[in-house]
Chain A
């Protein structure tokens, strides 16, 4: 703390002339350091993003020149059954799936952070489901979660519980996906682990001298210290859950009205917003309409993300001082 104040004092002492020059210097520096992203954005992202916005006002079908049709696409998607279904399925993943997933990843990271012989091996094992190709894990999962022969329900049966029909009962399909995501939480857990590793040990030592127990340490030191990472996981989680696609896409090839190009799972319970978007864009060639769907999703995600950022910013501690 003392260095900090010292810095401020020496810094403010020179006249205002120095301050504006410094400001300019930092402006150019900031711009220079950010330039890779700015160049990349202008070269590769600006055009696709603007096109998507423009296409949402057209009847674009991917091949022909688009015709401007105003807000028709937006009017069409209001009240559409699949849009509604997609939104509610997706909201389930954001509201229920994400907190479960993040808590689970955090627990896994805490376990991976304990000291034990052979920990490198255990860490690798915990990361495994993330490395194994999605297709292989999904196939295995169809077998693990099978209500009759699967390991999960056999285990439940041995303690006298009749497990649900995970894959075919519309009320259980989304929880099944969440379980699979938890099992594939490796990369989330690894990021938490990196955060946990950055928590200075002396904080814990000091707390322990003050007589704090592990539980208090966790809530008073660990959580605040890794709060930027928790916030990161939540924000990224919101963005990716709203675009939930790959796992459901694979699952839908095997369950429900399987055999169709882009299915929605049993009773459309796995018809997520992005699955519907994909279907409109690639199965039906309604690129304009799909772009309108994308714009609406963009607006929803943006609002939710920035509100969450606002709220969580107050809870996040960055400076360790």
Chain B
């Protein structure tokens, strides 16, 4: 034991001598983001570090450091206790509560005075989720929505020469494309109602239902249209049960496996384990790479019949620590990071398959110029053609589609959690949609009454 201790002491001393020292910089701006730190070309961290190098060279008075791999909880703890980081990435839905808590710097003065930043270039939907109670607290970063990815060949075999135009057609298409093995087990599902997860916001967008009434304080979770999409999902489960004897548990167990294979060469769309599935737009890159010889396509998620076509919008955002010692320098860095010029550079991201950012100019550049360049850069021309086509489709849809986000209110996290947990009660515990959504109303209405939601620009 003694020998071991001596040995340990010696090692410790050697190591502590070798431990590096930290040098002080005059105006140090630290940026933390939520992605990993990789040096694969096309990875976000690579773009950030390249931008930081360039920025540091051009701005001798500021030194920017970029660190990745942080979680929202790490960031929370750090900014609750101090001035680091100055700038951080966040999920848009955290902004209202963090802003109320005084954690976020109010960026409105900068938005208004920085003409080069040109905030009107940012897509209105993304601005809406950066805006809270009269102020901008976030700068939108990515711009993301949901698409349907489907197998053209499987649909054709089932007699579908077009993709379902509305949810009624979708249900019929699900029925037509679902198949069992000879032993009665699942061969293919038309659609997995909770793959990659039960995306309650997307479903409500498809059924054009609202979570809050016009007044901003009446919780409408139990509205007819919200009950409607829950019943719609129930009808999919019911079909599987009645037609094939697969209960919800069987479907969900099937879902567990395909969930682990998504965005790989064994993605259920590529293997044909599902005929259709939804995902955010970035799946196209993976499918293009992995499924060059598979006949897959993408389409808008169908809407309920007779409703206006809307789709879900999500975004991640950048924010500035309210305690930062150098707010002006932090803004200067952030404005450069999210500025027109740099966004165009970063649009080549997602491993060279196009990354969609919230600026109109960036999306247009992506559609009109970059899509062709990125496609041409692919080794396999077939893959390249597909990448080009998809980028054009997606950026065009983002520029012209009717995208809407969940209300950016002070109780957004409670509301989102409550919806998904109670919706899950419908499918896991057999609760009725009305009862489940009434529980959401009971939980959220007091919060909404206490602090009503005020929409963007009101």
Q: A62-B76, A63-B102, A266-B428 are in contact. Are A147 and B253 (CB under 8 A)?
A: yes
Residues of the B chain whose Cβ atoms lie less than 8 Å from the Cβ of A285 = 97-98, 100-101
A260 within 8 A of B: yes
By the criterion CB–CB under 8 Å, are A267 and B425 in contact? yes
A186 within 8 A of B: no
Segment at the A interface, from B3-11, B48-56, B196-204, B222-230: B196-204
In the assembled complex, the Cα of A256 lies from the Cα of B423 at a distance in Å of 10
By the criterion CB–CB under 8 Å, are A256 and B428 in contact? yes
Question: Could you tell me the distance in whole angstroms from the C-beta of B364 to the nearest C-beta in chain A?
Answer: 31
A149 within 8 A of B: yes
The interface residues of chain B, by DSSP majority, are classed as helix
By the criterion CB–CB under 8 Å, are B76 and A254 in contact? no
B245-264 residues with Cβ-Cβ distance < 8 A to A are 248-250, 252-254, 256-257, 259-260
Q: A63-B322, A256-B428, A262-B417 are in contact. Are A143 and B102 (CB under 8 A)?
A: no
A96 within 8 A of B: no
Q: A63-B101, A148-B185, A283-B417 are in contact. Are A255 and B429 (CB under 8 A)?
A: no
Question: Could you tell me the distance in whole angstroms from the C-beta of B171 to the nearest C-beta in chain A?
Answer: 23
Closest to A258 in B: B197
By the criterion CB–CB under 8 Å, are A63 and B103 in contact? yes
B421 within 8 A of A: yes
Closest to B97 in A: A285
Q: How many A-B residue pairs have CB under 8 A?
A: 112
Give 15 CB contacts A-B under 8 Å: A63-B322, A64-B101, A146-B253, A147-B250, A148-B257, A165-B250, A167-B253, A169-B249, A256-B428, A260-B197, A260-B420, A261-B417, A266-B428, A284-B97, A285-B100
By the criterion CB–CB under 8 Å, are A62 and B103 in contact? yes
In the assembled complex, the Cα of A150 lies from the Cα of B428 at a distance in Å of 20
How many residues in B have their beta carbons less than 8 Å from beta carbons of A? Answer: 42
A160-174 residues with Cβ-Cβ distance < 8 A to B are 165, 167-170
By the criterion CB–CB under 8 Å, are B260 and A139 in contact? yes
By the criterion CB–CB under 8 Å, are A259 and B199 in contact? yes
In the assembled complex, the Cα of A273 lies from the Cα of B198 at a distance in Å of 24
In the assembled complex, the Cα of A81 lies from the Cα of B444 at a distance in Å of 13
B158 within 8 A of A: no
10 closest Cβ contacts across the A-B interface?
A259-B197, A257-B420, A267-B429, A165-B249, A267-B428, A257-B424, A63-B101, A168-B252, A61-B101, A266-B428
A237 within 8 A of B: no
By the criterion CB–CB under 8 Å, are B257 and A261 in contact? no
Residues of the A chain whose Cβ atoms lie less than 8 Å from the Cβ of B257 = 143, 146, 148-149
By the criterion CB–CB under 8 Å, are A148 and B253 in contact? yes
Residues of the A chain whose Cβ atoms lie less than 8 Å from the Cβ of B248 = 168
In the assembled complex, the Cα of A143 lies from the Cα of B194 at a distance in Å of 18
B393 within 8 A of A: no
B142 within 8 A of A: no
By the criterion CB–CB under 8 Å, are B260 and A279 in contact? no
By the criterion CB–CB under 8 Å, are B429 and A146 in contact? no
B413 within 8 A of A: yes
By the criterion CB–CB under 8 Å, are A268 and B417 in contact? no
By the criterion CB–CB under 8 Å, are A143 and B260 in contact? yes
By the criterion CB–CB under 8 Å, are B249 and A147 in contact? yes
In the assembled complex, the Cα of A167 lies from the Cα of B257 at a distance in Å of 12
Closest to A269 in B: B428
Return the CB mask of A46-81 against B: 1 if under 8 Å, else 0: 000000000000000111100000000000000001
Residues of the B chain whose Cβ atoms lie less than 8 Å from the Cβ of A263 = 420-421
B454 within 8 A of A: no
B12 within 8 A of A: no
Closest to A166 in B: B253
A124-142 residues with Cβ-Cβ distance < 8 A to B are 139, 142
B73 within 8 A of A: yes
A306 within 8 A of B: no
B416 within 8 A of A: yes
Closest to A153 in B: B253
Return the CB mask of A179-195 against B: 1 if under 8 Å, else 0: 00000000000000000
Contact of A266 among B101, B102, B424, B443 (CB under 8 A): B424
By the criterion CB–CB under 8 Å, are A260 and B259 in contact? no
B345 within 8 A of A: no
B57 within 8 A of A: no
Closest to B253 in A: A147
A264 within 8 A of B: yes
Residues of the B chain whose Cβ atoms lie less than 8 Å from the Cβ of A256 = 421, 424, 428
A218 within 8 A of B: no
B414 within 8 A of A: yes
Question: Could you tell me the distance in whole angstroms from the C-beta of A145 to the nearest C-beta in chain B?
Answer: 9
B38 within 8 A of A: no
Closest to A282 in B: B73
B80 within 8 A of A: yes
In the assembled complex, the Cα of A181 lies from the Cα of B97 at a distance in Å of 36
By the criterion CB–CB under 8 Å, are A259 and B256 in contact? no
In the assembled complex, the Cα of A149 lies from the Cα of B266 at a distance in Å of 16
In the assembled complex, the Cα of A149 lies from the Cα of B91 at a distance in Å of 35
In the assembled complex, the Cα of A165 lies from the Cα of B250 at a distance in Å of 8
Q: Which of A143, A262, A267 has the most CB of B within 10 A?
A: A267
Residues of the B chain whose Cβ atoms lie less than 8 Å from the Cβ of A167 = 252-253, 256
In the assembled complex, the Cα of A288 lies from the Cα of B260 at a distance in Å of 38
In the assembled complex, the Cα of A264 lies from the Cα of B417 at a distance in Å of 9
Residues of the B chain whose Cβ atoms lie less than 8 Å from the Cβ of A271 = 421
Q: A63-B101, A285-B97 are in contact. Are A168 and B198 (CB under 8 A)?
A: no
By the criterion CB–CB under 8 Å, are B252 and A165 in contact? yes
Residues of the B chain whose Cβ atoms lie less than 8 Å from the Cβ of A168 = 248-249, 252-253, 256, 428
Question: Could you tell me the distance in whole angstroms from the C-beta of B273 to the nearest C-beta in chain A?
Answer: 12
In the assembled complex, the Cα of A262 lies from the Cα of B79 at a distance in Å of 21
Given pairs A282-B76, A283-B413, 18 additional interface contacts (CB within 8 A): A64-B101, A64-B102, A142-B260, A146-B253, A148-B185, A148-B250, A165-B249, A254-B256, A257-B421, A258-B197, A260-B417, A261-B413, A267-B425, A267-B429, A268-B421, A268-B424, A282-B73, A285-B98
Question: Could you tell me the distance in whole angstroms from the C-beta of B156 to the nearest C-beta in chain A?
Answer: 29
Residues of the B chain whose Cβ atoms lie less than 8 Å from the Cβ of A64 = 101-102
By the criterion CB–CB under 8 Å, are B420 and A259 in contact? yes
Residues of the B chain whose Cβ atoms lie less than 8 Å from the Cβ of A142 = 256, 260
Residues of the A chain whose Cβ atoms lie less than 8 Å from the Cβ of B424 = 256-257, 266-268
Question: Could you tell me the distance in whole angstroms from the C-beta of A65 to the nearest C-beta in chain B?
Answer: 9
B172-212 residues with Cβ-Cβ distance < 8 A to A are 185-186, 194, 196-199
In the assembled complex, the Cα of A12 lies from the Cα of B260 at a distance in Å of 72
By the criterion CB–CB under 8 Å, are B421 and A264 in contact? yes
Residues of the B chain whose Cβ atoms lie less than 8 Å from the Cβ of A139 = 260
Residues of the A chain whose Cβ atoms lie less than 8 Å from the Cβ of B420 = 257, 259-260, 263
Closest to A256 in B: B424
Question: Could you tell me the distance in whole angstroms from the C-beta of B312 to the nearest C-beta in chain A?
Answer: 13
Return the CB mask of B401-432 against A: 1 if under 8 Å, else 0: 00000000000011011001101110011000
B46-92 residues with Cβ-Cβ distance < 8 A to A are 72-73, 76, 79-80, 91
By the criterion CB–CB under 8 Å, are A259 and B260 in contact? no
By the criterion CB–CB under 8 Å, are A259 and B417 in contact? no
